[in-house]
């Protein structure tokens, strides 16, 4: 996972908005994942922005916590390995 990658919700996954962020469900593993609110835009992305561009935009809007940047790539990589997001 790199900052210049683009993410989007995998075809084998669904995302349901919740007050705490979202629930992601993978059809092939039949597992639920809790997605915190600041991570939702990266999971439901369309692939039109790189991770870096999206992070900069969300940080400028005050929607990305300061401590999220260090966790972002490892979390997205874990969601990719579990079939929640696709990466370009």
Nearest Cα neighbor of 42 from 57, 28, 62, 27 is 57
Q: Map out the domains of the chain as residue ranges.
A: 10-87
Q: For the chain, what is the mean pLDDT? A: 94
H or E element that contains 74? helix 69-81
- What integer pLDDT is reported at residue 45 of this predicted model? 84
Q: What value, to the nearest 5°, has the Cα angle with vertex 29 and ends 80 and 76? A: 15
- What integer pLDDT is reported at residue 35 of this predicted model? 96
Separation in Å, CA 31 to CA 6, 22, 56, 83: 23, 14, 30, 10
Q: What is the mean pLDDT of residues 49-61?
A: 95
Query: Which pLDDT tens digit goes with each residue over 9-25?
Result: 999 999 999 999 999 99
Band of pLDDT at residue 29, cut at 50, 70 and 90: confident
Give dist(CA 9, CA 44) in Å, integer: 5
pTM of the entire predicted model: 0.90
């Amino acid at each position: 996972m790199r900052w210049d990658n683009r993410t989007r919700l995998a075809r084998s996954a669904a995302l349901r908005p919740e007050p705490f962020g979202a629930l992601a469900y993978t059809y092939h593993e039949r597992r639920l994942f809790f997605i915190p609110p600041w991570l939702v835009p990266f999971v439901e992305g369309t692939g039109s922005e790189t991770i870096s561009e999206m992070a900069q935009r969300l940080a400028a809007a005050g929607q990305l916590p300061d401590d999220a940047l260090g966790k972002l790539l490892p979390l997205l990589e874990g969601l990719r390995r579990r079939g929640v997001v696709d990466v370009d």
